[in-house]
Structure 1
Amino acid sequence: MQNPNEIPNGKTGPLTWIGANLGRILVSLIVPILTFVILWQGYIFLRDSDAPKLVIATIAIIWGVGGVALLFYVTNWLVEKLPGSWVRRIQPFVFVGPGLALLGWFLALPVLRTLYLSLLDETSTKFVGLENYKYAFTDRIMLEAFRNNLLWMIVGTSVCVVLGLLIAVLADRTKYESIYKSIIFLPMAISFVGSGVIWKFVYAYKGEGVGIQEIGLLNAIVVACGGQAQAWLLNPPWNNFLLIVIMVWMQTGYAMVLLSSAIKGIPAELLEAARVDGASEVQAFFKITIPYIQGTIITVTTTILIFSLKLFDIVRVMTGGNNGTNVIANEFYIERFTYNSPGRASAIAIVLLIAVIPVMVYNLRQFRERKAF
């Protein structure tokens, strides 16, 4: 009689294979469980421990770095126990899987939840369909926010890129290039909130009407030149341009550094050949420099464009969105945390996400065409 665990042609059946590999199976089950227990106990300790902060910080570093390394090692070890064809299929996901999981948990799921909340009323209990989106595109305050964001995108982005390019070209020809660039790049080290506080002192005023006093730097300069002190942040639409100055002050250094690096990558032979052929510096700039660094210009422009779309900190600190300076992100904050209307706030967040997506897609396409990744 034939053994039920044997297959014709001398091959063993599944029961025989399981018996022969029982140890490997048990190890493959126990090792991931132990890994999870170790990582979980470390998390519990960091969450509930009353140990000194230095001890907790040290353990957090060891637990974080070591835990990730252990997780990758164990997962890779388990995959390598599989047949060769399965190893080739699964192993790439061992390395990209945690990243995809984090993106899914912290990005994709919140977007889906926000989309769901945007279809509910202010209590998040009653389905209202597209009513919140109707508000987002018809309310006077929202239309003002869209207009201001468009102003930031066009004026702010253009000035940042043009100034950054101009400074990069001019600084490249000076003796103290590194000093000049360091000074211009320095505002990038300051937070947006910090920048807002600094410039609030510049635009500061006291009193109303003809009684305004020149307590701010700008008013002091105006009065010293024979002018009259102004309440700069109370006069729309010019107050929006004064806020855009802060963005230009911060982002020009970023544009300058990237564009300067791209300019230094232009072969000297190209510029020298242009000069030999009789081209002026202006002609060489527009015919050689600009086309050669076009990819970097697009990258810088789209990056600052996305920043201007998501702008929040400067407006919140300087004016709170009052006096015609409101922007989309600030209106989202007001709807959610002041008016406690998660439905409208979620709809505004989705609108902002949709507005950013085309810029990001265009940027990625440009990267792909230039084989940036």
Structure 2
Amino acid sequence: MSPILTGLVTIAIAVAGCAGYFYASNWVLDRVIFPPRTDDRGRNIARANLVRPWLFILPAMLFLSVYLIYPVVGSFWRSLFNRSGAEFVGLGNYTEMFAEEGFRVALFNNILWVIFVPAAATFFGLLVAQLTDRLRWGNLAKSMIFMPMAISFVGASLIWKFVYANDPDIGIINALRDFVGLEPVDVLQVAFWNNFFIMFIMVWMQTGFAMVILSAALRGIPEETIEAAIIDGANPFQIFFKIKVPQITGTILVVWTTITILVLKVFDIVYAMTGGNFDTEILPSYMMDYMFRDDGRATAVAFVIMVIVTPVMVWNIVQARREMR
């Protein structure tokens, strides 16, 4: 059977199965569990209506349990075993991991990423959104800045590898150094600072996302508040920092935390730029180092990443719900 035909058959079976499930479950609910042909018909109908939403939620809850909850519990359980999975070591993988220098370097670099990338991307996004808001060619500028969002992480890394190239004829940084008479340097091998050169790729890509969201938020500010501030003699800086920014603080926080979640899961850029060498390791790349040689340690790192990401994600959802009210 061809792939197209297989896909069509699968879709048809899935749709028919969903329709059959909802029809059968509603029939059982209305005819068997809470039959209307009783003396208490009104109460049975009310009870059935209370249960009915759960019939629609039940399949999603089952899928979440199978594909989300079970893998999390299973991963934690697997992290309590040794490399081969035959011997139970308890929290041994975690204690060894936290004692290892490579993990501490990766954790420190992740902290740098969480501090620098969301702050820089949100700042530049807000700056561009404000500066291009009233310009005739503002939409063109926004399109150019948003364009890196269409590039994959690996593709962007390859582009910036040319920018950081050690050859003055290729790399822009070393071309400038050569112009002022300095020796070429491989910026990706300069300890500590190489992390910022890699992080800037992420900032370059996420500035467009922050700009689009914050630009919409700025356009949603009531003109009356701005006009009142102008009448009171406020200058452009005061209008921006004391009138506009306080009114879009919730949106700024949502953008910040959304980028933070993405940063905590990023792997492609570091792997493509340095492979985690020269002290640029982060937790996802550190996990990949153990993926094929120590499954217990790798799952322990994955669980640590999940523990770090979850509070940020929950907080982001709470803030997004507040924005929707």
User: Which residue does 2:308 correspond to in 1?
Assistant: 355
Does structure 1 residue 105 correspond to structure 2 residue 66? Answer: yes
Matched length = 314
Q: TM-score, normalised by structure 1?
A: 0.79
- Name which structure has the greater RCO, CA cutoff 8 Å, separation 6+: 2
Query: Equivalences for 1:4-153 in 2 at 5 Å?
Result: 50-51=1-2, 53-65=3-15, 67-81=17-31, 82-83=33-34, 84-153=45-114
Structure 2 residues not aligned, in runs of 5+: 35-44
Code of the residue aligned with 1:361 in structure 2: it is V
Residues 61 and 199 (structure 1), Cα distance of their counterparts in 2 relative to 1, 3 Å cut: farther
Which structure has the bigger radius of gyration? Answer: 1
How far apart in 1 are the matches of 2:9 and 2:173? 50
Given the alignment of the two structures, is residue 272 of structure 1 paired with residue 272 of structure 2, yes or no? no
DSSP 3-state at the match of 1:121: coil
Alpha-carbon deviation of 1:85? Answer: 4.5
**Counterpart-to-counterpart distance in 2, 1:98 and 1:68:** 9
Give the alignment's TM-score, normalised by structure 2: 0.90
Question: Paired residue for 1:160?
Answer: 121
What code does the residue aligned with 2:302 have?
A: A
What is the rounded CA distance, in whole Å, between the counterparts of 1:102 and 1:180 in structure 2? 43
Please give the secondary structure, in 2, of the residue aligned with 1:120.
Answer: coil
User: Residue by residue, what CA displacement relative to the aligned partner does 1:98-120 show, whole Å, maximum 9, x if unpaired?
Assistant: 22222211111100001101111
- Return closer, same or farther for 1:323/1:272 CA change in 2, 3 Å cut-off: same
C-alpha displacement of 1:325: 0.2
Deviations 1:203-243 (A, max 9, x none): 233xxxxxx66443443344345443221211111110110
Tell which deviates more after alignment, 215-224 or 300-309.
215-224
Asked whether the 8 Å contact 1:184–1:253 carries over to 2, the reply is yes
Cα distance change, pair 79–221 in 1 and its aligned pair in 2 (3 A): farther
Q: Structure 1 regions of 5+ residues with no counterpart?
A: 1-49, 206-211
Rounded to whole Å, the distance in 2 between the matches of 1:100 and 1:225 is 63
**CA 191–144 in structure 1, closer or farther in 2 if over 3 Å, else same:** same
- TM-superposed deviation, 1:74: 4.1
Change in CA separation of 1:315 and 1:72 when aligned onto 2, cut-off 3 Å: farther
Partner of 1:287: 242
CA contact (8 A) 2:251 2:323 kept: no
* Equivalent position of 1:183 in the other structure: 144
Q: 1:196 to 1:89 in 2, by over 3 A?
A: same
Percent identity, aligned pairs only?
Answer: 42
Q: Cα 1:213–1:181, aligned 2, differ >3 Å: closer, same or farther? A: closer
The residue type equivalent to 1:346 in the other structure is T
- Cα distance in 1 for partners of 2:283, 2:149 equals 23
Q: CA RMSD in A?
A: 2.0
Partner in structure 1 of residue 204 of structure 2: 249
1:122–1:344 contact (8 Å) kept in structure 2: yes
Structure 2 counterpart of 1:220:
175
CA distance in structure 2 between the partners assigned to 1:80 and 1:192 by the alignment: 52
Greater Cα offset, 213-222 or 316-325:
213-222
